[in-house]
Amino acid sequence: MRKKKLEPFTIVSIVGVGFFMVLCVVPFWMIISGSFTAESKLATTGYSLIPQPFSTAAYEMIFTGPTVLEAYFASIFITVVGTAMSLAATSGIAWVIARRLPGISRPIAVFAYLPMLFSGGLVPLYLLVTQYLHLQNSYFAVILPLLVAPFLVFIQVSAFRQLPEAILESARIDGAGEWRIFFRIVLPLSKPILAVVGLFYAVHYWNEWFTALLFITDVHKYPLPLLLQNLIQNVSFSQMLPTTAGQSPPVYQLRLALTAVTIGPILLAYPFAQRYFVKGITLGATKG
Amino acid sequence: MSALQTREVRRAASKPKPAAPPRRQKPLRGNLWVGLLALPAIAFFVVFAYLPMVGLVVAFKEFNVADGVFGSPWNGLDNFRYFFSSGEAGRILLNTLLLNTLFLAATLGAGITLALMLNEIRGRFFKRVAQSTIFFPYFVSPIVISIILQVLLAGVGGSGGAVNDALAGFGLPTVDWYTQPGPWPWILTVVKVWQMGGYLSVIFLAAITSIPEEVYEAGSIDGASRAQMAWRITIPLLRPTAAVLLVLGVGRIFYGDFGTIYAIVGDNGTLFPTTDVIDTYVFRSLRQLGDFGTTAAVGLFQSVVGFILVTAAVLIQRKYAKESSVL
């Protein structure tokens, strides 16, 4: 099977994959490089591959004013609290479904999967959150509508079902209650899948801007993506940001710097986290 | 079928009841006790999935905030009539179907191609780095994608742009991308391929890995080249997996990818003729016109047609899933 000789198709493959890799890397490099390039150059070329002339003006602005730090706080709050709540809710329902309890598990499974087939849509959700729950300008308006993703429940159910029954049985014989089994045995044994599901939720919350766009109007509560969107769509928004000694702010550079700051955490965590994502998708795709 | 089985199990379990009544009670109470773990998620689904379904009655009402969802007067099918006679309905539905078809075909094609190519790479380190790299765009916010596109097509300040510089470098005329609706279906397709190609390649690669090695050994004994093996062995064996993904994609064809399209196009009206889909239309009429009734009617129409398509897709998918090694 293994041949030492390189076949044409293998060469084409290496070139093809390499090309796609370049396409995936270059845009991010342009963002990062551009964010360190002086405004005067960005205004004429619109992008930059080499940060020349070098400038950190945008980053200085970002980290001295409160606006971006507030947005960072909002995003971190939504991500951390949201992921914790989502993990708790998802593990709970997934365990109940995975247990195959007669008369309980199946109705709950149908109940959880049905919303994947039919949804009420945007308008009822909007009315619910704004008119009845009154969650406008609360971080929970971003967290709660996304709390449980049926797809991730599905992944976790199939992972729970792979736990060795013998361990659970022996715990039962030793007299452990159901909750104790769940918290002391099931959850600690499921750390890898909890990491996978938690990471999916975390990325989702970090990137979420649609619910924020709908429900958050107070600038001081904007999460990062929403702040970024406002900065792209209207230049005058940058007037909100602090200026140094009456100079006009480097708007274009600021856009790129804010983008870099938004993808930064994902970019940093990615090398450590990516194998979990691959595992998660493979697990979700493989027949449980 | 499983419901039947469950019922049988329950019946069987209840049979020894007269023999040992105290033992019977404990497991049931235990079960309900475990069931409590599902309570937070159930509360979520009731409030954020099932209540909005009830809220869809707004589609048949002349909604006003003061009277609320249930107090507002009914107006029959007026909201639906208004949308379908607005002249925009045809364009929006067509865009939704057209764009999603393009996205589906292109992303599946790219996913399979990338998986085949990744499968050829023998160096383990390079393969891992390659896979991680092409998977990365999947994790990027649509807003960030929209900035990237701006940098490439128009320059971050609205002048220049990398693509136009490249065009000029080859002596080609530059294009004012954000004022030309024509190329946008293709631009969005490229964006989707960029975003989803790596993700789908992971799924297809998992399917390729599950193909037994002997099949390739037989091929190599018969003197097949790597390309022939990819074309004649791998691709035919990937067909069930691709069919499942295709069917699921067709099931969701009525739901546009709101996030990506709205983040990129926003309220740029010049691009609407080719990029406005149901989701973006719904969002705009809700935010800008505050027309809850019509918007809910469009949403209901989308949900009903979507439900029919998804249900049909799931039924067909079950048929294919038997043959597919994954999904």
Residue A235 pLDDT grade (very low, low, confident, very high; cuts 50, 70, 90): low
Distance of alpha carbon B11 from alpha carbon B15, whole angstroms: 6
- What pLDDT score does B13 carry? 41
Asked if B55 has any chain A CB less than 8 Å from its own CB, the reply is yes
CATH ID of A66-285, from 1.10.3720.10, 3.30.160.620, 3.90.45.10, 1.10.12.10 = 1.10.3720.10
pLDDT > 70: what percent of chain A? 91
Is the pLDDT score of A135 beyond 60?
Answer: yes
- What pLDDT score does A186 carry? 92
Contacts of A252 in chain B (CB under 8 A): 156-157
Distance of alpha carbon A276 from alpha carbon B103, whole angstroms: 27
Residue A138 pLDDT grade (very low, low, confident, very high; cuts 50, 70, 90): very high
Tell me the CA distances in angstroms from B17 to A100, B23, B30, one per residue in order: 21, 8, 17
User: Please, what's the b/e burial string for A60-87 (b: 16 or more CB within 10 A of its CB; e: otherwise)?
Assistant: ebbeebebbebbbbbbebbbeebbebbb
Is the pLDDT score of A239 beyond 90?
Answer: no
Residues linked to residue B326 through DSSP beta bridges, in sequence order: A286
User: Please, what's the b/e burial string for B58-73 (b: 16 or more CB within 10 A of its CB; e: otherwise)?
Assistant: bbbbebeeeeebeebe
- What pLDDT score does B35 carry? 84
Of the candidate ranges A253-262, B8-17, B175-184, B262-271, the one whose mean pLDDT is the lowest: B8-17
Which positions 88-107 of B are in contact with A (Cβ < 8 Å)? none
Contacts of B160 in chain A (CB under 8 A): 44-47
- Whether B202 sits inside 8 A of A259 (CB atoms) is no
Dump pLDDT digits (tens) for A28-58.
999 999 889 888 888 777 788 888 888 888 8
- What pLDDT score does B307 carry? 87
Dump pLDDT digits (tens) for B233-253.
999 988 888 888 888 788 788
- Which value, in Å, is the radius of gyration of the alpha carbons in chain A? 24
- What pLDDT score does B323 carry? 65
Confirm if A63 and A69 have CB atoms less than 8 A apart: yes
Is the pLDDT score of B7 beyond 50?
Answer: no
Domain ranges of chain A: 23-55, 66-285
- What pLDDT score does A248 carry? 64
Taking the CA of residue B241 and the nearest CA in chain A, the distance in Å comes to: 10
Summary mean pLDDT of chain B: 82
Q: What is the mean pLDDT of residues B64-90?
A: 83
Q: Which DSSP state fits B174?
A: P
Collapsing DSSP states into helix, strand and coil, what is residue B61?
strand
Residue B76 pLDDT grade (very low, low, confident, very high; cuts 50, 70, 90): confident
Is the pLDDT score of B102 beyond 90?
Answer: yes
Which positions 154-173 of A are in contact with B (Cβ < 8 Å)? none
- What pLDDT score does B11 carry? 40
Cβ contacts of B287 within 8 Å, gap of 6 or more: A214
Summary mean pLDDT of chain A: 85
Tell me which residue of A50, A168, A40, A71 sits closest to B143, measured CA to CA: A71
Residue B22 pLDDT grade (very low, low, confident, very high; cuts 50, 70, 90): very low
Tokens found for residue A158: 């199939």
Residues linked to residue B250 through DSSP beta bridges, in sequence order: none
Strands (E), chain B: none
Q: What is the mean pLDDT of residues A133-162?
A: 90
User: Please, what's the b/e burial string for A120-136 (b: 16 or more CB within 10 A of its CB; e: otherwise)?
Assistant: bbbbbbbbbbeeebebe
Distance of alpha carbon A34 from alpha carbon A48, whole angstroms: 5
Distance of alpha carbon B83 from alpha carbon B298, whole angstroms: 7
Q: What is the mean pLDDT of residues B72-101?
A: 87
- The residue that leads in pLDDT, B117 or B62, is B117
Cβ contacts below 8 Å, chain A against chain B, sum to 326
DSSP collapsed to 3 states, chain A: CCCCCCCHHHHHHHHHHHHHHHHHHHHHHHHHHHHCECHHHHHHHCCCCCCCCECCHHHHHHHHCHHHHHHHHHHHHHHHHHHHHHHHHHHHHHHHHHCCCCCCHHHHHHHHHHHHHCCCCHHHHHHHHHHHCCCCCCCHHHHHHHCCCHHHHHHHHHHHCCCCHHHHHHHHHCCCCHHHHHHHHHHHHCHHHHHHHHHHHHHHHHHCCHHHHHHCCCHHHCCHHHHHHHHHHCHHHHHHCCCCCCCCCCHHHHHHHHHHHHHHHHHHHHHHHHHHHHHHHHHHHECC
Distance of alpha carbon B82 from alpha carbon B100, whole angstroms: 25
pLDDT > 70: what percent of chain B? 87
Distance of alpha carbon B133 from alpha carbon A17, whole angstroms: 10
Residue A247 pLDDT grade (very low, low, confident, very high; cuts 50, 70, 90): low
Residue A240 pLDDT grade (very low, low, confident, very high; cuts 50, 70, 90): low
* Complex-level ipTM: 0.86
If you count them, how many residues does chain B have? 327
Is the pLDDT score of B189 beyond 90?
Answer: yes
Q: What is the mean pLDDT of residues B311-317?
A: 81
- What pLDDT score does A275 carry? 80
Task: Locate the chain B residue with the closest alpha carbon to A29.
Answer: B148
Tell me the CA distances in angstroms from A181 to A158, A165, A178, one per residue in order: 18, 12, 5
Collapsing DSSP states into helix, strand and coil, what is residue B74?
strand
Dump pLDDT digits (tens) for B122-179.
888 998 899 999 999 999 999 999 989 988 888 776 677 888 888 888 888 888 888 8
Q: What is the mean pLDDT of residues B47-52?
A: 92
Q: Hey, what amino acid is at B144?
A: V
- What pLDDT score does B1 carry? 36
Q: What is the mean pLDDT of residues B49-68?
A: 85
Contacts of A45 in chain B (CB under 8 A): 155, 160, 165
- What pLDDT score does A158 carry? 85
Which positions 60-119 of A are in contact with B (Cβ < 8 Å)? 85, 88-93, 95-97, 99, 101-104, 106, 108, 111-112, 114-119
- What pLDDT score does A279 carry? 77
Distance of alpha carbon B219 from alpha carbon A103, whole angstroms: 51
Q: What angle do CA A94, A97, A100 make, to 5 degrees?
A: 145
- Whether B130 sits inside 8 A of A30 (CB atoms) is no
Report the range out of A17-26, B119-128, B218-227 with the highest average pLDDT: A17-26
Which DSSP helix (H) or strand (E) runs through B239? helix B235-251
Task: Locate the chain A residue with the closest alpha carbon to B251.
Answer: A117
Asked if B158 has any chain A CB less than 8 Å from its own CB, the reply is yes
- What pLDDT score does B48 carry? 92
Q: What is the mean pLDDT of residues A84-105?
A: 91
- What pLDDT score does B18 carry? 42
Distance of alpha carbon B168 from alpha carbon B149, whole angstroms: 18
